Amino acid sequence: MTIQIAKIVNYAFLQELKEENTPLWEDVLLLGAYGQEPFSGDWIEQNAGMLLRRLRDRLSGQFRMEETLAYIPVEGITQSQGVTNALNQHLQILLHCIALSEKCDDFEYSGKLHRETYEIWKEMRALYDEIMEHESLERRMLNLFSHSEVDALDADSSFDDCRKRGFVNRQSSTRDGW
C-alpha cells in the first residue's frame, strides 16, 4: 500500500518567516501604494522594472523558505484544502510576477514601455491583490491555530490529539501516529 505524503503547517515557523522578511513586505507595500495611486506612466517607466525584478526574487525566496520550513511533509494524512490553496497560490503568484517582470523588461528594452505603462500598472494592481489574498489565507490559517492551542500540544501528543484539535485530517494508512 502506498502511503500518501501531505503537508501540514508549522505555524511557529510560518509566523516567524512572515515577520522577518522586512524587505519583501516593503516592496509589497510599495507595489500596493503605487497600484492605489492615480495612474502615473512616468513612475511605471522609471520604477516598475526594478521593483518587479526585486519582488520576483524576494517572493521566490520567501515561498521557498515557507515551503521548506513552514509546510512540513507528513505521511498518512490528508492535506487540508487551506494548505493546498496556499501552496498553489505560491506558484500562481510567482509565475505572475515573473511574467509581469519579463513583460516590463521586454517593453523597456524594445523602447515600447511608454505605450504599455497603463497595462503594466493594471497588472501590478492585480499582482498586489493576489499577494494580499494569499496573505489573508495564511493569516486565517495562523488565526485558526492560536498559540494557546499549539502550545497545548507537546512532543508526546498523539496523532489523535492533533486530529481532534483540527491540526491534521486522518486518512487510512498502514501506519498509526505520525
Tens of pLDDT along 138-176? 999 888 765 434 444 444 444 454 444 444 443 333 333
pTM score: 0.79
127 confidence band (pLDDT: 50, 70, 90): very high
For residue 1, the model assigns a pLDDT of 64
CA 78 – CA 81 distance, rounded (Å):
9
The residue written with cell numbers 526585486 in the block is: 54
Side-chain half-sphere CA neighbours of 8 within 13 A: 18
The sign of the CA dihedral 153, 157, 159, 164 is negative
Residues 6 or more apart whose CB falls under 8 angstroms from that of 101 comprise 49, 52, 53, 55, 56
> In 3-state terms, what secondary structure has residue 154?
coil
- pLDDT 10s digits, 2-38: 778 899 999 888 999 988 999 999 999 999 998 887 7
